Amino acid sequence: MEQGRPRGRQGLGYEVRSHEVFKLNASKFENLDFPQNGDAYNTDVTNAGRRPHQTFRVEMLPASEEIADRLRIAAGTKAVLRFCHRYVDDVPWSTQATYYPAWLADESPRLAEPGDIEEGTTRYLAERGIEQVGYFDEIAARMPTPEEARLLEMGAGVPVLLWTRTGFSTDRPIRCTITTFRGDLNQMNYEIGDLSARSENEPQ
């Protein structure tokens, strides 16, 4: 297949190309109106004709000042960390660290259990009446830490893309997710407003 042409079917948020770059449509990601086969990551990678694989680590730990500020809890208060190491076709693609306040784990106990929540945590919480009604995103880029470079198997000179999403219910924050992407294998875009005039033939 020609270099740079779409390969496989477009998923909810990602589009895989022959050089293995993913286009992440961050405004569609976690949209519960879309049908899913598992969580959004597994759905999109599978729909693109690729093989998803992820490992999990779940633990309770004191919230740092940065995380506590986003979750509106006191620094040092216990939070649940769900850490995913994600692969596409056995290539390290990203790491994702999601923090939940301890009160939320009390109401939704599967958050603190080890292993995957197959339907995805956003959908799991919505089914328990804790709906994410909005989110605030922060995007940044920097050079990786030694640990990030090791986990993502990155060569020298390759930056990471950091995507921090704080999700809100109607009255307070319910989670903070920090996703660290390989800068050479990922792109991000958003769709905002009425795009009916956009040609389907334009580059996606």
Q: Render pLDDT for 53-102 as a digit per residue (tens, 0 to 9).
A: 889 899 999 999 999 999 999 999 999 999 999 888 888 889 999 999 99
CB atoms within 10 A of CB 145: 11
Section 150-177 average pLDDT: 94
Q: Which residue has the higher pLDDT, 169 or 116?
A: 169
pLDDT (0 to 100) of residue 203: 57
Given a cut of 90, whether residue 18 has pLDDT beyond it is: no
Query: Of 20-29, 99-108, 126-135, where does mean pLDDT reach its minimum?
Result: 20-29
3-state secondary structure the chain: CCCCCECCCCCCCEEEECCCCEEEECCCCCCCCCCCCCCHHHHHHHHCCCCEEEEEEEEEEECCHHHHHHHCCCCCCEEEEEEEEEEECCEEEEEEEEEEEHHHHHHCHHHHCCCCCCCCHHHHHHHCCCCCCEEEEEEEEECCCHHHHHHHCCCCCCCEEEEEEEEECCCCEEEEEEEEEECCCEEEECCCCCCCCCCCCCCC
Mean predicted confidence (pLDDT) in 37-60: 78
pLDDT, tens digit, 9 for 90 and up, residues 97-125: 999 999 999 999 999 998 888 888 888 99
Position 17 pLDDT exceeds 50 = no
